[in-house]
């Protein structure tokens, strides 16, 4: 997925959606839905307070919304342009879009039963700080899910790396006319800790039941933990 976070031009948000679906061959939809399904029990809970961090144009948020049964759903992102697009797409769904930095959340402590982040946590400047903020805003017993890219192993990994590092940035640049965001994506995945290291960081932040589930040969995966 492209990285619009640093300076998203307002025309970039709708195009971002189109590019995502083309470049990921629509597998992203399966990943968002699978993640939301994982948390069905907490989403169905009456009065559940749910926060989707780094929500971008809202696709993960909408997948959560489809499974909720009342309650309160927030989508937070620090890019105004992405939130404008999310708002346009959300029609009259009862979702509150908040412009906020995931490292300094404007929410009271112990407020949410579920916090998610799809393809955004990897971009944070400080992962431990990000985990600490998620921990702070979660209610005791609350859960989090971080869906993000990984590095598949073996032969599939080799083929995928060519696509991811060469083909994907080239197509992205061609369609968008902008070089930076698509070249940045492989670099940000390389910078992201391995599953073993992420799980240790989650435990160090205080989470229990830390786990990682690979999606589609480990191209993506879901980190889970409980406060
Ligand atoms: C690749 S997009 C993913 C958007 C959406 N969750 C999805 O799955 O399509 C990453 C998003 O993270 C946001 N983001 C990056 N760093 C952030 C931070 N520190 N605080 C809030 N949002 C951030 C960006 O603005 C961008 O919209």
Divide the 227 residues of the chain into consecutive groups of 10 and give the mean pLDDT of each group. Answer: 42 62 76 97 94 97 95 97 95 93 98 97 96 98 95 85 80 73 71 94 98 93 98
Distant-in-sequence, close-in-space partners of 77: CB < 8 Å, separation ≥ 6: 53, 54, 55, 56, 83, 86, 97, 99, 100, 120
Per-residue model confidence (pLDDT) at position 16 = 65
Six-digit token string for 130: 């990000």
Q: Are 189 and 151 in contact (CB under 8 A)?
A: yes
Residue 92 class from Cβ within 10 Å (0-12 exposed, 13-18 middle, 19+ buried)? Answer: exposed
Residue 10 has a pLDDT of: 44
Which atom in ligand 1 lies closest to the alpha carbon of residue 2? 1
Q: Tell me how crowded residue 196 is: count the other CB atoms within 10 A of its CB.
A: 9
User: Could you give the maximum distance between any two Cα atoms of the chain, in Å?
Assistant: 47
What pLDDT is recorded for position 134? 98
What does the block give as tokens for 1?
């997925």
Neighbours of 162 (CB within 10 A): 10
Check residue 23 and give its pLDDT.
63
| Alpha carbon nearest to ligand 1 atom 23, residue | 54
> CA-based angle 94:99:103, to the nearest 5?
120
Residue 43: predicted pLDDT: 97
Centre of ligand 1 from the C-alpha of residue 122, in Å: 9
Distance 155 CA to ligand 1 centre (A): 30
Residue carrying the six token digits 């959560």 = 64
Q: What is the pLDDT of residue 182?
A: 65
Closest protein CA for atom 10 of ligand 1: 120
Residue nearest to atom 4 of ligand 1 (CA): 56
Q: What does the alpha-carbon distance between residue 68 and residue 101 come to, in Å, rounded to a whole number?
A: 25
Angle formed at CA 34 by CA 122 and CA 215, multiple of 5 degrees: 60
Q: Which residue of 28, 75, 120 sits with most ligand 1 atoms within 8 Å of its CB, as the best mutation to test the pocket?
A: 120
Q: CB count, 10 Å around CB of 41?
A: 11
Specify the residue for token string 């989090």.
144
The reply to whether ligand 1 has any atom less than 6 angstroms from the CB of 12 is no
Q: Ligand 1 pocket check: which of 29, 52, 54, 116 to mutate, most ligand atoms within 8 Å of Cβ?
A: 54
Integer Cα distance of 159 and 156 in angstroms:
5
pLDDT at res. 17: 66
181: tokens are 């965001």
Report yes or no: 133 and 219 within 8 Å, Cβ to Cβ. no
Cβ(101) – ligand 1 distance below 6 Å: yes
C-beta atoms surrounding 107 within 10 Å: 17
With a 6 Å cutoff on the Cβ, whether 123 touches ligand 1 is yes
Count of beta carbons in the 10 Å neighbourhood of residue 19: 21
User: CA 146 to CA 15: how far, in whole Å?
Assistant: 24
For CA atoms 56, 194, 125, 140, the dihedral sign is positive
* pLDDT for residue 151: 84
Among protein residues, the one with the nearest Cα to ligand 1's atom 14 is 54
């Amino acid at each position: 997925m492209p990285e619009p976070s640093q300076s998203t031009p307002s025309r970039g948000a709708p195009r971002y959606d189109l590019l995502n679906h083309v470049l990921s061959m629509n597998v992203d939809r399966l990943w968002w839905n699978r993640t939301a399904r994982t948390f069905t029990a907490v989403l169905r809970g009456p009065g559940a307070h749910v926060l989707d961090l780094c929500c971008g144009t809202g696709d993960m948020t909408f997948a959560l919304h489809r499974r909720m049964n009342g309650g309160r759903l927030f989508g937070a992102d620090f890019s105004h342009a992405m939130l404008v697009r999310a708002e346009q797409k959300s029609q009259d769904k009862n979702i509150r879009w908040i412009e906020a930095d995931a490292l300094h959340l404007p929410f009271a402590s112990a407020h949410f039963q579920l916090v998610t982040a799809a393809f955004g946590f990897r971009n944070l400047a400080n992962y431990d700080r990000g985990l600490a903020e998620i921990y702070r805003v979660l209610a005791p017993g609350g859960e989090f899910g971080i869906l993000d890219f990984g590095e598949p192993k073996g032969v599939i990994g080799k083929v995928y790396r060519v696509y991811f590092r060469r083909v994907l940035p080239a197509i992205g640049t061609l369609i968008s006319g902008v070089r930076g965001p698509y070249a940045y994506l492989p670099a940000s995945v390389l910078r992201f800790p391995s599953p073993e290291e992420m799980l240790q960081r989650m435990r160090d932040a205080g989470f229990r039941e830390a786990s990682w589930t690979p999606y589609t040969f480990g191209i993506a995966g879901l980190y889970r933990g409980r406060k």
